[in-house]
Structure 1
Amino acid sequence: MPPTADDPAAPLSVPARPELTGGRRIGVLLSHGFTGSPVSMRPWGEHLAALGYGVSVPLLPGHGTTWRDLNTHRWQDWYGAIVAAFDALRAEHDAVVVGGLSMGGALVLRLAADRDADLAGVMVVNPAVATQRLDVKLLPVLKHLVPSFPAIAGDIKKPGVSENGYDRTPLKAVHSMMQAWPVIRSDLARITVPLLYFRSPEDHVVDGSSEPLILGGISSTDVTRVELADSYHVATLDNDAPAIFEQSAAFVARVTG
């Protein structure tokens, strides 16, 4: 069953309040990560919404249900949902900034490469476009033999906090995500808009291979890197979440001003 409207895993949609943003309607699209849900993005989205920004946090296909359901979906489904959410925001706002966590970061980087002229800026938190794990080379075979691996969700340093992610990692779905990475990397040079890059040095899900590829691959000359020293992978719910919220709010105000 998909989440109901009052469930934290449900999509978040908050209208813009231009009286708080200098008379302009500013939209922000935020994407959760693989096996996660809007739970991981809701506090961030609500913080930006309180400042007057129109916020959209879609629930990606196959998420918020079961990992078996996710295993029936592919990268094209998740990217299609992000494009649809972006187009809806763009139609109703003067400017739009996009942001994402983990796979959500990869999705918005793909969007930025495709729609650079339509964006005001990009924000990513521990994005993944590569991995050093050797077992991924076996995914083309393993995905037909084993339906899932142990969970990757819940990598949070702060005690007592959960992102309500899946307890298993579906292999057909994760293989589809990783198959999209080489094309994303090859198209990073198309990104010229400002980038705000948040990175946790201790991340047990996304290793250090993605960062140099992203920061070295984009063409933007307006790049800000922020280290999240007291958080693990799901930093949007972790100890450094306030820093993400505050610095992203300042970034949105600057790039849309």
Structure 2
Amino acid sequence: MSWIAEERERARKDGVHHRENFPFLLTPEQPNGQAVVLVHGFGATPRSIFPVARALYQERYTVAGVRLPGHGTSPADLKRRKATEWITVARSAYDALAADGLKISGGGLSTGALVALTLASQRPLHKLLLFSPFLRLRHHLAPFAGFLSFFVPYQKSAVGQAESDFYYSRRPLKAIGEINRLLRDMPHILPQIKAPTLVLTSTGDATIAPGTALKLYERLGSPDKILHTYGNNVPHVLTTTENPELNDVLQRCLDFMNQEFSNSPINNGQSSSI
């Protein structure tokens, strides 16, 4: 059974019902020999990174959109999951694509960016696309989520009716504790990252601590890295139509993926649009 067939079957057994919450594999008719493993964020589903996948697919990239265990099912399911499971799913997508001889890049949104960075420390990645990555969440109690979960199991999150099939309105604090596990590994992982990396963030992000994406960017070991900061009108989720700058995000991703770094040693720099 292929990777995507196995993952879709796993999703069905876990209780995924909505078709946009399943993992996906986009394979162009004339592939360019490159693939990208994309990872969605915490409490969301593969739907949230599909616009990026579609843009890459149209440029003949093979794209695997993973579903992190505990997502697209129920808050109770997410509560029992571990960060190691999230990493394993991303790694299995990588290994399946590598078996086809493809040159593989990685990308992730928010917590998915942390998973992609962890993957980059375990497997050779050609490039990295990081959307709203962070080293610290904005809520001052987030670092203590694992302990607090014994007293307050869930955190309420405002989710509109139209988005209720794709985002959780209750987020288990125990699972936020698993995000903290990923964060604890970042000081060791970031200097190891040598792949060219694009970091996109915004000053309008109400989820992560101000300036935390910049700190992450500065600690990356890659000599070829680009940071772009959007303004206050851009939310945490950069990869869906709720972002008024989505088209710019997609274009920057394509430009970065098509950029040749090996012959351009001076490529790391910062740009901003505030």
Which TM class, normalised by the smaller chain length? 0.7 to 0.9
Q: 1:182 aligns to what?
A: 184
State the AA in 1 paired with 2:156.
P
Rounded to whole Å, the distance in 1 between the matches of 2:80 and 2:261 is: 38
Per-residue CA deviations over 1:113-165 (Å, capped at 9, x if unaligned) read 222xx2111010101232353313442332112210112768xxxxx878821
Give the 3 Å change call, closer, same or farther, for CA 66–127 of structure 1 in structure 2: same
Give the 3 Å change call, closer, same or farther, for CA 218–180 of structure 1 in structure 2: same
TM-score, with structure 2 as normaliser: 0.82
State the AA in 2 paired with 1:3.
H
Rounded to whole Å, the distance in 2 between the matches of 1:15 and 1:45 is: 11
Give the 3 Å change call, closer, same or farther, for CA 91–144 of structure 1 in structure 2: same
Q: Which runs of 4+ in 1 moved over 3 A?
A: 16-19, 160-163
Please, which runs of 5 or more residues in structure 2 have no aligned partner? 1-14, 263-274
- Alignment partner for residue 141 of structure 1, among 147, 151, 157? 147
Q: Is the 8 A contact 1:132 1:209 kept in 2?
A: no
Q: 2:26 aligns to what?
A: 14
Q: 1:206 aligns to what?
A: 208
Report whether the alignment pairs 1:123 with 2:129. yes
Report whether the alignment pairs 1:39 with 2:47. yes
Q: Is the 8 A contact 1:153 1:163 kept in 2?
A: no
Q: Is the 8 A contact 1:152 1:169 kept in 2?
A: no
Once the two structures are aligned, what percentage of the paired residues are identical?
25
RMSD over equivalenced CA pairs, Å: 2.2
Q: Secondary structure at the match of 1:145?
A: coil
| Count of equivalent residues | 244
Q: Is the 8 A contact 2:69 2:78 kept in 1?
A: yes
Q: 1:48 aligns to what?
A: 56
Q: Is the 8 A contact 1:67 1:166 kept in 2?
A: yes
Please, which runs of 5 or more residues in structure 1 have no aligned partner? 155-159
Give the 3 Å change call, closer, same or farther, for CA 31–199 of structure 1 in structure 2: same
Q: Secondary structure at the match of 1:34?
A: coil
Give the 3 Å change call, closer, same or farther, for CA 153–243 of structure 1 in structure 2: farther
What displacement does 1:109 show?
Answer: 1.1
Q: 2:35 aligns to what?
A: 27
Q: Secondary structure at the match of 2:149?
A: helix
Q: Secondary structure at the match of 1:187?
A: helix
Q: 2:16 aligns to what?
A: 2
Report whether the alignment pairs 1:235 with 2:238. yes
Q: 2:81 aligns to what?
A: 73
Q: Secondary structure at the match of 1:124?
A: strand
Give the 3 Å change call, closer, same or farther, for CA 3–252 of structure 1 in structure 2: farther
Q: Secondary structure at the match of 1:123?
A: strand
Rounded to whole Å, the distance in 2 between the matches of 1:196 and 1:176 is: 25
TM-score, with structure 1 as normaliser: 0.87
- Alignment partner for residue 151 of structure 1, among 146, 157, 160? 157
Rounded to whole Å, the distance in 2 between the matches of 1:65 and 1:162 is: 11
State the AA in 1 paired with 2:189.
D
Rounded to whole Å, the distance in 2 between the matches of 1:205 and 1:236 is: 15
State the AA in 2 paired with 1:224.
I
Per-residue CA deviations over 1:193-229 (Å, capped at 9, x if unaligned) read 1010101111011122522331221111111112223
Report whether the alignment pairs 1:247 with 2:252. yes
The higher relative CO (CA closer than 8 Å, separation ≥ 6) is in 1
State the AA in 1 paired with 2:238.
A
Rounded to whole Å, the distance in 2 between the matches of 1:94 and 1:74 is: 29
